[in-house]
Amino acid sequence: MASPAPKYFWIFVSFSVSLSVYGFFYFQSHYTIYVDGKVVNFTGDLFQVAADNKLISCGIPKSMSQLTINIMCLLYDEDSFSAESNSLNDTWVTKRECLQENEFRNPTSQLLNDNETVRFAFIRDPIQRFVSLYLDKCIHTKFCFDCDTNMSCFVQRIYDMLKNIQNYRHGFQKSDIMAQHAAPLSWMCNFDRELEKWHLLMMGSDFVERKSSILHLANILKRQGFNESLVEKIQQDTLAGETAHSTHTSSHRVEAERQVREDPFIRDLLHKIYFFDYVVFPFKRDSLDAKYRTNFWSIPE
Ligand SMILES: *[C@@H]1O[C@H](CO)[C@@H](O)[C@H](O)[C@H]1NC(C)=O
Ligand SMILES: *[C@@H]1O[C@H](CO)[C@@H](O)[C@H](O)[C@H]1NC(C)=O
Ligand SMILES: *[C@@H]1O[C@H](CO)[C@@H](O)[C@H](O)[C@H]1NC(C)=O
Ligand SMILES: *[C@@H]1O[C@H](CO)[C@@H](O)[C@H](O)[C@H]1NC(C)=O
Ligand SMILES: *[C@@H]1O[C@H](CO)[C@@H](O)[C@H](O)[C@H]1NC(C)=O
């Protein structure tokens, strides 16, 4: 009789887990991700490159990835960006010239090994990111597996899908869009190998936090030698977009947030899927269940 698969995602990290998460970035960080005892082979590399100014970004789905791509397209080739009438508001439906360019999408090993290369990514609270994914796939469009709008069903399907990734013979399939969107942040951008090299910009839930991340990004861009007036313009347009977004909360969102806060089944799976993200990245853990809030954690049971 086959033994039942362990119900949890379990994880092993090669640094001391008792370190404060906020202090974590001062240490060399390498970690290995195991799911049910097998190493996850997930190469969800989602890079954008502006090689002249030694800048690499990683656009994490549901974490300002469209904005990241747009900013990087503009920085990569400003003339072509204006010629094509691209804007920082563009989404995946707009054709963006830069995305056709191999040089834009794949950093060279020379650039990766250059100690002046700067990397940045926007990161977002994993449960908030899940809510956004749910609203997008199950409410606004109908790519919700066969779950209709049932969040319990959706989270179960995602959990099963991510567990299956360990069994893909040739690693993660880039064409699996849902996996790209649902996978933990800690699986992405080759963070497991070189997290300490990244500037992580928190996509906070309120405007103040987002503003501070945008200002941080503007500073990075100036330091990398981009035209200051261009950077000022990017900063202004981005903040304007944020102001426009920040006022709207739909009733669907309110209901989805209630479910992730109150439904024990959904919470249990979300903790199993995303807990490691809370260990690796400096997210607040106030909204997690008590046993997941401490740094002296053990394998969830
Ligand atoms: C980068 O590497 C060069 C030699 O390869 C070294 O001279 C320089 O100090 C390094 N810069 C930094 C910021 O580490
Ligand atoms: C939602 O899905 C779960 C799991 O698939 C199922 O047990 C539950 O009955 C469904 N709820 C509704 C209201 O359909
Ligand atoms: C992981 O997947 C990639 C292709 O996606 C493959 O080249 C590589 O060999 C795999 N690594 C392991 C350890 O299975
Ligand atoms: C920066 O861009 C502005 C507007 O395109 C231009 O007028 C200015 O000359 C540029 N500055 C530098 C230092 O290239
Ligand atoms: C982008 O969106 C913002 C906020 O919705 C709007 O103010 C701005 O005019 C838009 N820009 C373009 C170029 O469409």
At residue 265, the pLDDT reads 97
In the block, residue with structure tokens 């974490």: 63
Kindly report, residue by residue over 89-127, the tens digit of the pLDDT. Answer: 888 888 888 999 999 999 999 999 999 999 999 999 999
More confident of the two residues 25 and 292: 292
Pocket probe mutation, ligand 4, options 52, 229, 230, 232, max atoms within 8 Å of Cβ: 229
pLDDT grade for 25, boundaries at 50, 70 and 90: very low
Query: What average pLDDT does the chain have?
Result: 84
Per-residue pLDDT at 297 exceeds 60: no
Instruction: State the CB neighbour count (10 A cutoff) for residue 209.
Output: 13
Kindly report, residue by residue over 205-216, the tens digit of the pLDDT. Answer: 777 888 889 999
Alpha carbon of 227 to ligand 4 centroid (Å): 6
Kindly report, residue by residue over 155-175, the tens digit of the pLDDT. Answer: 999 999 888 887 776 666 666
Task: Tell me if 227 CB under 6 Å of ligand 4.
Answer: yes
Per-residue pLDDT at 152 exceeds 90: yes
Per-residue pLDDT at 43 exceeds 90: no
Question: Nearest 5°: phi and psi at 17?
Answer: -75, -5
Task: Tell me if 41 CB under 6 Å of ligand 3.
Answer: yes
Say if residues 276 and 33 touch (Cβ distance below 8 Å).
yes
Alpha carbon of 153 to ligand 2 centroid (Å): 6
Contacts of 39 (CB under 8 A, 6+ apart): 32, 33, 166
Instruction: State the CB neighbour count (10 A cutoff) for residue 170.
Output: 7
Task: Tell me if 171 CB under 6 Å of ligand 3.
Answer: yes
Q: Of all protein residues, whose CA lies closest to atom 6 belonging to ligand 2?
A: 153
Say if residues 271 and 289 touch (Cβ distance below 8 Å).
yes
Kindly report, residue by residue over 48-83, the tens digit of the pLDDT. Answer: 999 999 999 999 999 999 999 999 999 999 999 999
Please name which of 198, 26, 29 lies closest in space to residue 122, comparing C-alpha atoms. 198
pTM: 0.86
Alpha carbon of 149 to ligand 2 centroid (Å): 10
Per-residue pLDDT at 17 exceeds 50: no
Atom of ligand 3 nearest to the CA of 173: 5
Task: Tell me if 82 CB under 6 Å of ligand 4.
Answer: no
Mean per-residue pLDDT, 282-298: 78
Kindly report, residue by residue over 224-269, the tens digit of the pLDDT. Answer: 999 999 999 999 999 988 777 666 678 999 999 999 999 999 999 9
Instruction: Calculate the alpha carbon distances from 222 to 58, 100, 103, 114, 204 in Å.
Output: 19, 26, 22, 19, 23
Instruction: Calculate the alpha carbon distances from 95 to 34, 79, 84 in Å.
Output: 38, 15, 9
